[in-house]
């Protein structure tokens, strides 16, 4: 086994575990903020409009939180596989990284820049999730899929 490659894999595995843990925190915040966002949205709408808009909005918010949690846990689990050179674990971690990195890109493409500037918490969240996505992706590309060491 190449010791340099083994050290690189161990480093990437640690990065994935940390990023997975950060995603658990992001998912928890996302889920915890659902009710608070409902209160904020309700202030700007009539009761009838809120009754129409809130259920699908809440569903979307909860589903994203649950899926973020699933990606976080899968990333943490993949870390040990990446450490030993499991190609499947590397691919799963890569797909997770691309999915996370795609989220802020999709938001930036769909939401007016002024909204980001008027909602600093939203801007900070987009920046943080972008940094998490990049810091998951580059180490995986750095080591490549490899093969299991024997």
DSSP assignment string, 48-102: HHHHHHHHHHHHHHHHHHHHHHHHHHHHHHHHHHHHHT-HHHHHHHHHHHHHHHH
pLDDT at 54 (0 to 100): 94
Q: What is the mean pLDDT of each run of 10 residues along the chain (150 residues)?
A: 90 97 92 88 93 93 95 97 96 97 91 82 85 95 77
What distance in Å separates the CA atoms of residue 39 and residue 1, rounded to the nearest whole number? 57
Full-model pTM: 0.87
Would you call 25 helix, strand, or coil by DSSP? helix
pLDDT at 150 (0 to 100): 46
Which strand (E) or helix (H) includes residue 137?
helix 120-143
What distance in Å separates the CA atoms of residue 92 and residue 75, rounded to the nearest whole number? 8
pLDDT at 123 (0 to 100): 83
- The count of residues in the chain is 150
pLDDT at 137 (0 to 100): 97
């Amino acid at each position: 086994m190449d010791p340099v490659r083994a050290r690189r894999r161990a480093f990437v595995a640690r990065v994935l575990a940390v990023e997975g843990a950060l995603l658990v925190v992001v998912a928890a915040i996302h889920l915890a903020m659902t009710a608070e966002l409902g209160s904020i949205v309700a202030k700007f709408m009539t009761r009838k409009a809120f009754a129409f808009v809130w259920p699908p909005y809440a569903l979307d918010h909860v589903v994203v939180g649950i899926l973020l949690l699933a990606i976080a846990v899968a990333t943490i689990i993949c870390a040990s596989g990446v450490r030993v050179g499991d190609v499947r674990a590397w691919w799963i971690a890569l797909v997770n990284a691309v999915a996370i990195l795609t989220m802020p890109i999709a938001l930036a493409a769909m939401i007016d820049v002024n909204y980001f500037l008027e909602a600093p918490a939203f801007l900070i969240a987009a920046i943080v999730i972008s940094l998490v996505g990049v810091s998951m992706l580059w180490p995986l590309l750095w080591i490549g899929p490899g093969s299991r060491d024997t």
